[in-house]
Amino acid sequence: MTNQPKAWFEEFQKNVSELIARSPAADIERNVKGFMGQAFNRMDLVTREEFDIQVDLLSRALARIDVLEKQTHLLEQRLSALESDDK
């Protein structure tokens, strides 16, 4: 007899799921999902993975720029020192 309430509940749950699937709410949900999918496609959005890749690339580029700026500054100092030695 303990299995009977469980079976009844599972049958009830199945019937409710089927009812929802056939209801106008299911159609509305499908239409909203379709509309939102089209809207997102037109927005030219990127995935989280693509975004993370671009963040990583930007971080590495900024680090490289920092190194190059320091090298440029040192070279400018050396050039300035050489020019003042020539005078």
3-state SS, residue 44 = coil
Question: Rounded to whole angstroms, how far apart are CA atoms 76 and 84?
Answer: 12
How many C-beta atoms lie closer than 10 Å to residue 11's C-beta? 10
pLDDT band for 54, please (50, 70, 90 cuts).
Answer: very high
pLDDT in tens, 4-33: 777 887 888 888 888 777 777 777 877 888
pTM: 0.50
pLDDT at 27: 77
pLDDT of residue 7: 82
Which pLDDT value is given to residue 6?
77
- Among the listed residues 75, 56, 57, the one whose alpha carbon sits nearest the alpha carbon of residue 67: 75
Confidence of residue 70 (pLDDT cuts 50, 70, 90): very high
